[in-house]
Amino acid sequence: MPTRERKAPKAANPGRTSGTRAETAAPRHGAALDRYDIAILAELQTDARLSNAELAARIGLSAAPTWRRVKWLEQQRYITGYRAEIDRRRIGLGVLAFVRVDAERNNAEATRALEDAIRALPEVVACHYISGAGTFELHVMCTDLDAYSRWSMDTLFKLPNVKDIHTSFSLGEVKAGAALPLKHLEG
């Protein structure tokens, strides 16, 4: 007869743990995220440079199960990487453009060719395949308007299957580099 794993009771204070085996064990394959996993994701989105000991203290587990949980979250691709946030203006990227690209043909082969070409452009920091008017929405960074103009004429319009582009420029940043919302994961 299969054994059932006991569910850990929720601690009144998320920063403290009762120390039961179920609370400190690493998640099982296919297991839903629990409050410790969610806490790890929240803390690492805020500061990915936390040491394992600091992270463990913040979420209320000891270091070893915290480390196992982080490794599991990485293996399961909940955590896909770590990177530094850089102030684009400090490194001379004064222009952020939102560019809707209309494709000449919308078939699988032509779309894949355009996707591959877009992925190869370092100026494109994000690209989304979109519904409605247009095919792709690009987030493009350049040093200034003249550099963007040259780049769009010399590079963007020369990509395979590009029919037209529509550009809007950011006039000011209200929110950027935000952490993903996690409330919907809480039970």
pTM reported for the whole predicted model:
0.76
Backbone angles phi, psi at 147, to 5 degrees: -65, -40
Mean per-residue pLDDT pooled into runs of 10, the chain (187 residues): 37 42 51 92 96 98 97 97 93 97 85 94 96 89 98 95 95 89 88
Backbone angles phi, psi at 44, to 5 degrees: -70, -30
> Which CA distances in Å does 152 have to 96, 147, 165?
13, 9, 9
pLDDT of res. 87: 93
What's the rounded Cα separation, in Å, for the pair 173 and 166?
20
pLDDT of res. 53: 98
pLDDT of res. 19: 47
DSSP states along 54-115: HHHHHHTS-HHHHHHHHHHHHHTTSS--------GGGGT--EEEEEEEEES--SHHHHHHHH
pLDDT tens string 49-59: 999 999 999 99
pLDDT of res. 12: 35
